Homo-oligomer: A and B are copies of this chain.
């Protein structure tokens, strides 16, 4: 008989079905035994009367994989309002070792190290599953919006030859006896590909040899990268970012609303236009040093509160960041070249996305590199694109784990990363 998912049982009342999954929990009440089975769609209760192979159950430790053949009966108190009666059970795995934590409890009460050390088992907990399902739905929404807007998916190399973009925080690889580096971002390649397809995106790993331990940095994370040509300036980039965020949230609502509910996540509304404030104005607003070159976390928090109060928005874009704090490819602000056509997007007062317009003139690139005292040679492939004609363009990158962390409101980004990597952790 074909397997039925537990979520489909309510439509099968009175029928004999087969369900398969993990033993989530065992309970005995008087002469009756209850088995809760977990599959990818949810939970189902199986009831064994005394006559029905009661002894068997002792060997059915939690997480053992089983197949149960039984009849679906209505039962208001059971998950989904149904249960399986007259069951016949077959074990599909050997009895499972007892998990380090009781996965059937509503919450996982444990510290971060235990959560990460036992990640292969801990991700089976329903709250952990729900976290990643929000991430997966977000990626789906990201691609749906961009596919519909004429973007082409690309995959660019993670092994790079020169210390391009930034020499800092790069991992070195022994590449057939010579050094190579793990790409910091697909930045240079996605710009090149604007010359080919105008609008491109990539979802993939990026690598940062982060020397310090923080709750918001990882040595490897998933970057959702976008780049598009034929823009007027960074505001056009922000408009696409707005659509992407709205699409990510729409897909969560459509396919992972239950998971968001389980985690008590308040899904933000994305305004039709994300409010924008200039960097200088932002400094003034929070009473910071007017010559400051960056916003402190405390400033970002206050700006988030301000956006919420004045614009009823969880999102705020800060534009016009000082040129000295932005990479060489950042396009200057036309009326004030000490500022840039770049932005940070704050989500509930925390930086979530960096984006902006890039330079597109070949001579500007040569000049910008010269001004920074950087040689041109390592950028030869990149500069090729500009020599041969590039439109005004820009883009942004969303860190998937940072997005999920802020959505779920956890303190440490490692909690929402499948198998986090930092300077101390390389396993599991």
Q: Are the C-beta atoms of A94 and B363 separated by less than 8 Å?
A: yes
Instruction: Point out the residues of chain B lying under 8 angstroms from A387, CB to CB.
Output: 96-97
Q: Are the C-beta atoms of B155 and A418 separated by less than 8 Å?
A: yes
Contact mask A191-210 → B, CB, 8 Å, 1/0?
Answer: 01101111100011101010
Cα–Cα distance between A156 and B385 once the two chains are bound (Å): 32
- Minimum CB distance partner of A140 in chain B: B147
Q: Are the C-beta atoms of A93 and B428 separated by less than 8 Å?
A: no
Selected contact of A159 from candidates B118, B133, B421, CB within 8 Å: B421
Q: Are the C-beta atoms of B161 and A171 separated by less than 8 Å?
A: no
Instruction: Point out the residues of chain B lying under 8 angstroms from A176, CB to CB.
Output: 209, 211, 423
Instruction: Point out the residues of chain B lying under 8 angstroms from A195, CB to CB.
Output: 120-121, 123-124
Cα–Cα distance between A385 and B121 once the two chains are bound (Å): 6
Cα–Cα distance between A215 and B93 once the two chains are bound (Å): 43
Contacting residues of chain A (154-208) with chain B, CB-CB under 8 angstroms: 154-162, 171-176, 180, 182, 189, 192-193, 195-199, 203-205, 207
Q: Are the C-beta atoms of B205 and A389 separated by less than 8 Å?
A: no
Cα–Cα distance between A94 and B175 once the two chains are bound (Å): 38
Q: Are the C-beta atoms of B219 and A96 separated by less than 8 Å?
A: no
Q: Are the C-beta atoms of B171 and A174 separated by less than 8 Å?
A: yes
Number of interface residues of A (CB under 8 A): 93
Q: Are the C-beta atoms of B207 and A124 separated by less than 8 Å?
A: no
Q: Which of A107-115, A325-333, A349-357, A376-384 contacts B (4 or more CB under 8 A)?
A: A376-384
Contact mask A108-142 → B, CB, 8 Å, 1/0?
Answer: 00000000001111011000110011001001100
Q: Are the C-beta atoms of A133 and B152 separated by less than 8 Å?
A: yes
Question: 8 new A-B pairs (CB below 8 Å) besides A40-B152, A120-B195, A155-B400?
Answer: A93-B361, A96-B388, A96-B389, A121-B195, A157-B421, A175-B426, A204-B205, A384-B428
Return the 4 tightest CB-CB contacts between A and B, nearest first. A381-B428, A96-B389, A161-B426, A63-B389
